[in-house]
Structure 1
Amino acid sequence: MPKLKRAEGEERATDFVESLDRGIRLLQVFGTIGGPATLSDLARAADLPRATARRILFTLEHGGFVTSDGKLFTLTPRVLTLAASYLQSSQVVTVLQPVLDRIALAAQEISSLAVLDGDEVVFIARGSPTRVFSAGLDIGYRLPAFCTSVGRVMLGQFDDGDLTARLAAMRREPMTPHTVTDPKRLLACVRGDREQGYSLVDREAEPHFRSISVPVRRYDDVIVGAINMGAHVDRVSTNEMIERFLPLLKEGAESVKSMLL
């Protein structure tokens, strides 16, 4: 007798591995605690029963991802292999890294690649003229999408209806006195950036920092990331960013479009 095919919703529900979901959640709360933590602290932060958190922690300890002195639990460097797996398997990083290096050398400034993750942007690659990253945004660094140039060019991929709903729903805490938080003004900013093909954000994410970004599109015109350059406001003007940085960013993004699948 042939097997009946499960409905899509039913298949998702039965295939969900709750223990894996809880383990990932427990790993993530280490970042919110900011140091070694007790079993009770971690269970409470992850909203898990103490016995469940204990089993998960011992499993992670067995795998080498967590260490304990008998009372306090700490992540080990092995956790970084999870991030390394993403970076090494990401086609966007592989294709864009030589571009970032090239435009950083041409501009003598650090360049960065970011992707959209929910309401935040995550920086996943960098290029430097010296290959010594003494300043700028570290790989893995997160910022709100609404007040960053990389975020605004990636938010431009959504139609006005979806964009309006996203901006209204996301947290819009001011990062500096210059941060635009009003959803109507933000909608106008993103729409304007979409039309001109780039975004320049001046002191909205950081008090003395401005940056310029362009979207990175794959072969079918879908936005998969954004590349940017930024500098201290006393060192680089907005005009210089548009005249000197923007052509390099545009050329770099266009050069990889046919290579991204």
Structure 2
Amino acid sequence: MPKLKRSESDERATDFVESLDRGLRLLQCFGATAGPMTLSDLARAADLPRATARRMLLTLQRGGYVSGDGKLFSLTPHVLTLATSYLRSSQIIAVLQPVLDRIAIAAQEISSLAVLDGDDVVFIARGGPTRIFSGGLEIGYRLPAFCTSVGRAMLGQFDDADLAARLNAMNRQALTPQTETDPKALLARISADRAQGYSLVDREAEPHFRSISVPVRRYDGVIVAAINMGAHVDRVPAQELLDRFLPLLRDGAEAVRSQLL
């Protein structure tokens, strides 16, 4: 009897390693609260049976990613090797870091690089007038894409139909009194930002902060990231973002286009 060919869905199901998925899910649960967590709390947060969570934690402990006494568990610094591997292997960071530093020195403000991750943006690099930072968004910090200038700059890569579907499906909880949450209004704003080539968001993600961003495109025009600069509303007016920051951001994004594959 001839051997039946497996379908792509069958192959995907076979290739999926459920235990690895559970272990990674468990690692992510540590960020929910500060300090050590109990086995029961972690199992509940990861939606896993207690016995399964215990086996996962003991495996992670043997690998050096978790420490614990059997009752309370914490992440170890070794878990940072996972993030470091991404940061060191990312072509976007390698290419953009000198640009961020140059822009930051020219403007005497912090500049940031972000990528889209589902419905969120994640900040993966930043530059400053000095290498010692006193403020700004930390690397790894996440924010909703719909209400941030970097997020809107990257959401502009989708056509209006796809964008409308994404906006309707995502959680659009207001972060400040100024946050726009209406999907039709957001669609109009992001479409306008796409046309003008930048996004300016005023106090929608943080109460006293405004920022401006431009998309970063690779060699073929596809948007792969966004770079931004921002400041406290009492210190930098919106017009200064347009007059002083926007040209620097545009020049920086254009300068690396041919280098991104």
Shift in Å at residue 10 of structure 1?
1.2
Aligned to 2:233: 233
Matched, 1:38 2:25: no
1:124-165 deviations in Å (ceiling 9; x for gaps): 000001111111100000000000000001000001111001
Shift in Å at residue 32 of structure 1?
1.2
SS at match of 2:177: coil
SS at match of 2:162: helix
Separation of aligned partners in 2, 1:130 and 1:2:
68
Separation of aligned partners in 1, 2:60 and 2:244:
49
SS at match of 2:80: helix
Aligned to 1:157: 157
Deviating more after overlay: 33-42 vs 142-151 = 33-42
Q: Percent identity?
A: 78
Separation of aligned partners in 1, 2:111 and 2:21:
35
SS at match of 1:204: coil
One-letter amino acid of the counterpart of residue 222, structure 1: V
Shift in Å at residue 8 of structure 1?
1.4
Aligned to 1:78: 78
- Kindly report which structure 2 residues correspond to 1:16-35, keeping only aligned pairs within 5 A, or say none: 16-35=16-35
Matched, 1:91 2:91: yes
Q: TM-score, normalised by structure 2?
A: 0.98
Aligned to 1:12: 12
Shift in Å at residue 6 of structure 1?
2.8
SS at match of 1:213: strand
Shift in Å at residue 196 of structure 1?
0.1
Separation of aligned partners in 2, 1:224 and 1:3:
43
Separation of aligned partners in 2, 1:68 and 1:107:
46
Aligned to 2:123: 123
Separation of aligned partners in 2, 1:133 and 1:3:
62
Separation of aligned partners in 2, 1:116 and 1:17:
25
SS at match of 1:103: helix
1:18-69 deviations in Å (ceiling 9; x for gaps): 0000000100111113321111111111111111111110000000000012
- Kindly report which structure 2 residues correspond to 1:195-210, keeping only aligned pairs within 5 A, or say none: 195-210=195-210
One-letter amino acid of the counterpart of residue 234, structure 1: D
Deviating more after overlay: 245-254 vs 62-71 = 62-71
Separation of aligned partners in 2, 1:202 and 1:113:
18
SS at match of 1:190: helix
Separation of aligned partners in 2, 1:23 and 1:92:
28
- Kindly report which structure 2 residues correspond to 1:123-202, keeping only aligned pairs within 5 A, or say none: 123-202=123-202
SS at match of 2:176: coil
SS at match of 2:150: helix
Size of the aligned set, in residue pairs, is 261
1:55-112 deviations in Å (ceiling 9; x for gaps): 1100000000000123100000111110010110100000000000001001110000
SS at match of 2:231: strand
